[in-house]
A = this chain, B = another copy of it.
Amino acid sequence: MSPGRLEAFSDGVFAIAITLLVLDIHVPDPSTTADLAQQLGSQWPSYVAYGVSFLTIGIIWINHHAMVRRLRRVDHSILIWNLLLLMTVSALPFTTALMAAYLKESSGESLAAAVYSGSFLLMGVVFAGMNRHVLFERAAYLEEDTDEPTRRLILKRAVAGLIPYAIATVLAPISPYLTLAICAAVAAFYASPAASAADVQPVPPSSYDQ
């Protein structure tokens, strides 16, 4: 299979998962809603969780493209790694809805938050694992002969990206709001120009538009 076809299928899954997020924002039932403004306002965890998950999926899509772009070909092992990654991405509409439903509850809120950041962590772990597989066990498939220091740097960054999610997951029992804030901060960081310079773009800018 060509990397282009792998990417087209993956982009389809990313696009669907990111768009399904909206199904978790519910329209208040008119027959039981006295004050719509208050009702919509009380749903703010849904909006925040929607925004954070949307940006996070968008960023993993950008990073996924950067990874696949380095490949000249793919084999069965890369296809299966990719399926596992997509499986974790596709689960995010569920964990996002869980977070939104329980954030303000007095029971289950810590677990929901841990599942939420934990699902980002799992996605990041599989992404780092796939990167490691591609960069070190399938180095011969790489588009251009990337030297080992560069490959180590790319992997190090993928692993470093796991740290905030691990912290957010560990802190969930203390405060689910803190967990959500950390996930939001990570998304904001990777969306910022700073991330562009340092992290998302480990290949020279000149080849970015290939």
Contact = CB atoms under 8 A, between A and B. Distances in A.
Contacts of A16: 12, 15-16, 19-20
B193 A27 contact: no
Interface residues of A, number: 74
A54 B65 CA distance: 22
Given A22-B93, A40-B115, A55-B83, A61 B15 contact: no
A109 to B, nearest CB: 8
Contact of A65 (B1, B12, B193): B1
Contacts of A7: 5
A49 to B, nearest CB: 12
Contacts of A11: 5, 8-9, 12
Interface of A: 1-2, 5, 7-9, 11-25, 27-28, 30, 33-37, 40, 50-51, 54-55, 58, 61-62, 65, 69, 72-77, 79-80, 83, 86-87, 90-91, 93-94, 97-98, 101-102, 105, 107-108, 111-112, 115, 191, 193, 195-196, 200-201, 205, 208-210
